[in-house]
A and B are shown apart, each in its own frame.
Chain A
Amino acid sequence: MDTTSSLALARIPFWALVKHDFKRRKRGGLRAYRGWWWVYALGVCAALLVLSARVGQAAENLRFAWFAVFGLLFLSFGLGIGCTANEWRNGTVGWWLTLPVSRGRLVLSKWVATLLRTLWVYTRVFLLMAGFGLYSLAVAGQLHYHTLVAFFNTGVGAYTLLLALTPLPAALGVFYGVLMQSRLRPAVPLVWLAFGLVWWQVSTRGNHLPVASHARVSPLFQVWSLWSWHQVEAVLAMWLLAVGLVLGAAVVLDRYLAL
């Protein structure tokens, strides 16, 4: 038997936890559905080809295609839920919650893993969108410096805003995943209500963010310099709220767990 003192000093590296949480795990029938990924991938490729063929007349407006990436915020929320809820779905929650790690670190690891998984998806989508833009502009004969600047500046602007917003839905997903397994589950509608109010505030301010309006005249990749202090403050407030949600999830796990 190891000595009590050596056991008491044992520490689990935080990044080992994150690495473990980063991997998506789902029990049962995944293999049977794997073929559907190809169906969707082919569908997306076909849609992009059709779109790029029609974009010739409107190459000037191609940059607005970047606004589709804001839908990825919902993906971040879903990844946050999945990252925590899968511990219950997979039957591994007992192992997870009895690791010799504080609840705060367990939940923080889930949040960081969710952010990293989200970034991984964002990167792939960025490359896909960039490829789509270049191909479309080339097909339309519009592959010039000023169209490229407008296109990529809008993309970088959209991604800057997307990255600034992401910590909140990721944290909300983790919090929601934990809340659903707790004795506080009846509070879920209240959480939705509060989130709706925050999102409404963000959306209202988001309309004024310099994603597209100045993209055509800014130097390449420098659109973030157009952010005002008010907008930076709003983003910082959202990050604080995200940290609050992560801490809240730890408290819920510690005190209100329903097992």
Chain B
Amino acid sequence: MSEMAVSLHHVTKSYGRKQALADVSLAIPRGRVVGILGPNGAGKSTLFRILTGLVRPEAGEVRVLGESPGWRTNRQVAYLPDRARWYPDHTVADALRWAETFLPGFHLDTAHRLAALLRMDEHVRAGQMSRGQEARLMLLMCLARRVPLVVLDEPLAGIDAPSRARILEGIVSVLSEEERPTVLLSTHELYEAEPLLDYAVFLTGGRVVLAGDAETLRRQHGSMRHILETLVT
């Protein structure tokens, strides 16, 4: 088994003339909670899409849990897509039944525990939920899976403060389990998410500008927020 959850070697990806990732090399160890941080357009979502096989890089090598990313590795990856919505006709109960069939490693008991923790009403359809409720439902779909890698693309974006707090509670609850997965998390809500992170990767303009153990980075550069503000300016 590979010691690294994710590794990239000289990976490049462009959309037309815009280079989303430029010669990115990166190695993320297993069992860490990793913040993938950077301003809008830094390449965070592109990185996640490459890791889940949604898009292919033009150059470079990518390994996820020791294999090339694609539909087969997605059995072991729980992914919350950027700007995603849930199937509008599903109630929470429908969504849980769907997840049992379609998401390998999905545990119904964990899902019910998380649904209670996230204060989900099991009878409301996703189409009638607030954005915060829908975001919590989608997070539940990911966190109730017992898989080695969890990839959360902006799980806190556009969500009100009470829902953000519940989402973070949900993440902490999974991280406190004995066999915790590697979690990749991108967010702009660093004030709330920073305490969760024990590893960080900073991207700007499609390049990795800083990466390492969160404590070491804090000692050297100050808080994550401070580092991000410095990079943006």
A and B: bona fide binding partners: yes
Do the beta carbons of A98 and B54 come within 8 Å of each other? Answer: yes
Nearest to B86 among chain A residues (CB) is A92
Interface check A34, CB cutoff 8 A:
no
Given contact pairs A2-B146, A23-B89, A259-B49, A91 touches B84 in the complex (Cβ within 8 A) = yes
List of A residues within 8 angstroms of B148 by Cβ: 1, 4
Q: How far is the CA of A25 from the CA of B102 in the complex (A)?
A: 18
Do the beta carbons of B82 and A98 come within 8 Å of each other? Answer: no
Interface check B76, CB cutoff 8 A:
yes
Q: Report, as a range, how many residues of chain A touch the other chain.
A: 20 to 34
Interface check A120, CB cutoff 8 A:
no
Closest CB in chain B relative to A194 CB, distance in Å: 26
Interface check B205, CB cutoff 8 A:
no
Q: How far is the CA of A259 from the CA of B181 in the complex (A)?
A: 27
Closest CB in chain A relative to B175 CB, distance in Å: 12
Q: How far is the CA of A7 from the CA of B74 in the complex (A)?
A: 10
Q: Which residues 164-184 of B sit at the A interface, judged by CB distance below 8 A?
A: 179, 181
Residue from B1, B75, B83, B89 within 8 A of A100 (CB atoms): B75
Do the beta carbons of B55 and A10 come within 8 Å of each other? Answer: no
Q: Report, as a range, how many residues of chain B touch the other chain.
A: 35 or more
Do the beta carbons of A1 and B54 come within 8 Å of each other? Answer: no
Residue from A1, A17, A28, A103 within 8 A of B147 (CB atoms): A1
Given contact pairs A27-B127, A90-B88, A4 touches B146 in the complex (Cβ within 8 A) = no
Do the beta carbons of B105 and A12 come within 8 Å of each other? Answer: no
- Interface 0/1 of A85-111, CB less than 8 Å to B: 000001111110111111100000000
Residue from A7, A13, A91, A258 within 8 A of B104 (CB atoms): A7
Given contact pairs A90-B87, A98-B74, A1 touches B146 in the complex (Cβ within 8 A) = yes
Residue from B56, B71, B146 within 8 A of A99 (CB atoms): B71
* Dominant secondary structure at the A interface: loop
Do the beta carbons of A10 and B75 come within 8 Å of each other? Answer: yes
* Dominant secondary structure at the B interface: loop
Q: How far is the CA of A97 from the CA of B54 in the complex (A)?
A: 7
List of B residues within 8 angstroms of A144 by Cβ: none
- Interface 0/1 of B44-75, CB less than 8 Å to A: 00000100111110000000010000011011
Do the beta carbons of A94 and B82 come within 8 Å of each other? Answer: yes
Do the beta carbons of B146 and A90 come within 8 Å of each other? Answer: no
Q: How far is the CA of A26 from the CA of B89 in the complex (A)?
A: 8
Interface check B85, CB cutoff 8 A:
yes
Interface check B79, CB cutoff 8 A:
yes
Do the beta carbons of A257 and B54 come within 8 Å of each other? Answer: yes
Q: How far is the CA of A178 from the CA of B136 in the complex (A)?
A: 29
Closest CB in chain A relative to B127 CB, distance in Å: 6
Closest CB in chain B relative to A29 CB, distance in Å: 10
Q: How far is the CA of A102 from the CA of B74 in the complex (A)?
A: 10
Interface check A20, CB cutoff 8 A:
yes
Q: How far is the CA of A23 from the CA of B89 in the complex (A)?
A: 9
Closest CB in chain B relative to A135 CB, distance in Å: 36
Q: How far is the CA of A4 from the CA of B1 in the complex (A)?
A: 10
Closest CB in chain B relative to A250 CB, distance in Å: 11
List of B residues within 8 angstroms of A94 by Cβ: 54, 79, 81-82, 84
Do the beta carbons of A7 and B75 come within 8 Å of each other? Answer: yes
Interface check B233, CB cutoff 8 A:
no
List of B residues within 8 angstroms of A16 by Cβ: 101-102
Q: How far is the CA of A8 from the CA of B82 in the complex (A)?
A: 25
List of B residues within 8 angstroms of A20 by Cβ: 98, 102
- Which A-B residue pairs are the 6 nearest by beta carbons? A94-B81, A91-B85, A10-B104, A100-B75, A1-B179, A1-B146
Query: Given known contacts A17-B102, A258-B15, what 17 new A-B pairs fall within 8 Å (CB)?
Result: A1-B179, A7-B75, A7-B76, A7-B104, A7-B147, A8-B76, A10-B75, A10-B105, A12-B101, A16-B102, A90-B88, A92-B87, A93-B81, A94-B54, A97-B54, A98-B79, A257-B54
